[in-house]
């Protein structure tokens, strides 16, 4: 059987416009995060050029695009930062607002919310999890 364009599902990544759209989203997202006084401090000593590139590559994978992510795992990168749930929620909202402003369709937003819920335990400090 030949796989045609009709039978191949189009990824979220392709639907939103590929690499240039992801790059635009990451720029807008970090502008919001860095303008948020509750969050800016986390990034004070971080190389934001590399950071934006890593998040763009990771967002690409989350949206079903090509996997070229070479950074650390989420737990490895975030556990040393001791991030409380409230700050995780703020970052998640900045991402959703960014994607909404860029016109990302509702079904893709819903999937991004699902991923945010799925990875929360890797990012949030282990000691702040209820029952831990």
Chain residues in the site for ligand HEM (CB under 6 A): 39, 42-43, 46, 51, 54-55, 58, 71-72, 74, 77-78, 81, 83, 87-88, 91, 116, 119, 123
- Residue 119, number of CB atoms within 10 A of its CB: 17
Please say which residue, 48 or 101, places its beta carbon nearer to ligand HEM: 48
Going by C-alpha positions, the residue among 58, 83, 61 that lies closest to residue 72 is: 58
Task: Taking the CA atoms of 72, 85, 60 and 33 in sequence, report the sign of the dihedral they define.
Answer: negative
Q: How far apart are CA 11 and CA 1, in angstroms?
A: 21
Which residues are within 8 A (CB) of 35 and not within 5 positions of it... i.e. 6 or more apart?
Answer: none
C-beta of 79: minimal distance to ligand HEM in Å? 10
Please indicate if the annotation marks 54 as binding a ligand: yes
C-beta of 58: minimal distance to ligand HEM in Å? 4
Helix (H) or strand (E) holding 63: none
Please say which residue, 25 or 123, places its beta carbon nearer to ligand HEM: 123
C-beta of 55: minimal distance to ligand HEM in Å? 5
Please say which residue, 43 or 101, places its beta carbon nearer to ligand HEM: 43
């Amino acid at each position: 059987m030949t796989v045609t364009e009709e039978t191949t599902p189009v990824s979220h990544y392709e639907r939103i416009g590929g690499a240039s759209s992801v790059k635009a989203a990451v720029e807008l997202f970090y502008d919001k995060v860095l303008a948020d006084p509750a969050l800016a401090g986390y990034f004070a000593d971080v190389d934001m050029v590399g950071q934006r590139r890593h998040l763009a590559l990771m967002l690409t994978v989350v949206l079903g695009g090509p996997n070229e992510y070479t950074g650390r795992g989420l737990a490895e990168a975030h556990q040393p930062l001791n991030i409380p749930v409230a700050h995780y929620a703020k970052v998640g909202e900045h991402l959703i607002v960014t994607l909404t402003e860029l016109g990302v369709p509702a079904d893709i937003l819903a999937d991004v919310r699902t991923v945010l819920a799925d990875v929360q335990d890797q990012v949030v400090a282990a000691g702040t999890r209820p029952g831990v």
